[in-house]
Amino acid sequence: MTDEGVTPATDGPTVADDSTAADVITAGDVREAHDRIADIVHRTPLDGSTTLADASGAASVGLKLENTQRTGSFKIRGAYNAMAQLSPDEREAGVIAASAGNHAQGVALAGDLLGIDAEIVVPEVTPASKIEATRGYGATVIVEGDIYERSYEHALERAEETGRTFVHPFDDAAIMAGQGTVGMEIAQQLPDVDTVLVSIGGGGLISGIATALCGDAAESAIDDDVRVIGVQPEGALHAKPSLERGAIHELPAVDTVAEGIADTRLLERTWTVLRERVDDVVAVSDDEIAVAVTLLAERAKTVAEAAGAAPVAALLSDALDVTDEHVAAVVSGGNVNLTEHAELTRTGLIELGRYAEARLHVDGWPTAIADVAEAIESHGAELDGLERDDRSAVDRPNRVPVTVGIEGSGPKHLREVLDALASLEAVEVADESLVDRDPPVGSQ
């Protein structure tokens, strides 16, 4: 998609092979965008995190909380900047976009603020909650196509038929310039910044930020050299091989929990900017992303979607060295439903060694369960769930299979709890899921 999966090739004007980043977007374009949208968007906070700084070895870490932006992501910046520059005739004709994610809501809100009629084409699999959120910002939602690519194609066809302007989610200079205002704010909030970490899907956000910070020597927001590093999930890693090969690399498919950056390729404009202005791209696993989502909720008290947490995952990974550096990590969005967030944080706690499930064989159901609960609680852990399971072929016929979920302070603590359960006369620990390794961030 574009901002949610397979990336269709652009149908707009192409960029010449010998084009430079400056032919696409300049730091001056970002400054003009900043002036254009200043009264519309929030100047989101750059919150310091001593926990993440200590864990990564950085001198300081600032979280650029675009999840607190209007519509819950950075997308309103680019959408408003692009749509505000439409001619009177183009405004009268309206706009159209294809998206089931954050771009949809950005275009919808921009249309409402500018008095421009907006249509959003979404695939049939789009959750009803996202459709209602988009409608809530004033857009007309058209459900068309079994997958996003079909919705994208339908939007282009409808733009041709109706004269509406198609608003691309990333491969557009005005979109990039609007997103680049995030970089301008980082420069103002952390003038000593050494490294900026940004998620990459189609590349619009990082292209804008890199331009703002490292574009033209005379116009960029910071005089000193700043590293701009992209972050992608292992299951959607296309930008890194593109840089290594010197040409756009397209993936046949993507597989990641971070659906907001699950694109298959860069497009011509973003590639032209990225190859000149982005220093490197690192990959993170879905489990590392889940840990980042969990730590952002627990330590930073902020809700991030998987795509928005990827830079924090990179910060805590072995793929990056930020020792003694001042780092800004862009938390690009927080539009995630509560069920998905709960599942991510559960996975994160497992990876941190603070949550484990154990399959028990219990003699004397249900009276022995009281002993199980007491053993867990007496060791200072929390019994998160208990469920009697169906018997499998490997279960003992004279025992009741039970699964318990246990939350503790770390691997050592949970090992003590599991050993205590195993010592009970009426309980056998048949299997357990404890991740017994040092977590990236210490226990509370």
- Residue 422's H or E segment, with its range, is helix 411-422
- Residue 353's H or E segment, with its range, is none
What is the chain's length?
Answer: 444
Task: Choose among 353, 346, 343, 358: nearest CA to 435.
Answer: 353
What is the C-alpha separation between 162 and 92, in angstroms, rounded? 11
Q: Give 339's contacts (C-beta < 8 A, 6+ positions apart).
A: none
Contact yes or no for 21/211 (Cβ under 8 A):
yes
What is the C-alpha separation between 18 and 272, in angstroms, rounded? 9
What are the backbone angles phi and psi of residue 429, rounded to the nearest 5°?
-85, 105
Q: At what angle do helices 204-214 and 27-37 cross, to 10 degrees?
A: 110
User: Each residue of 248-270: b (16+ CB within 10 Å) or e?
Assistant: bbebeebebbbbbbbbbbbbbbb
Residue with structure tokens 């979109």? Answer: 175
Going 389 to 395 to 400 to 403, the CA torsion angle's sign is negative
Active site residue 75: yes
Active site residue 332: yes
Task: Choose among 390, 330, 396, 360: nearest CA to 193.
Answer: 330
- Options 75, 130, 151, 199, the catalytic residue: 75
- Options 56, 60, 199, 332, the catalytic residue: 332
**In the β-sheet with 195-199, what is the strand arrangement from edge to edge?**
46-48, 60-65, 326-331, 195-199, 227-233, 280-284
What is the C-alpha separation between 148 and 123, in angstroms, rounded? 5
What are the backbone angles phi and psi of residue 393, rounded to the nearest 5°?
-65, -25
Task: Give me the active site residues, please.
Answer: 75, 332
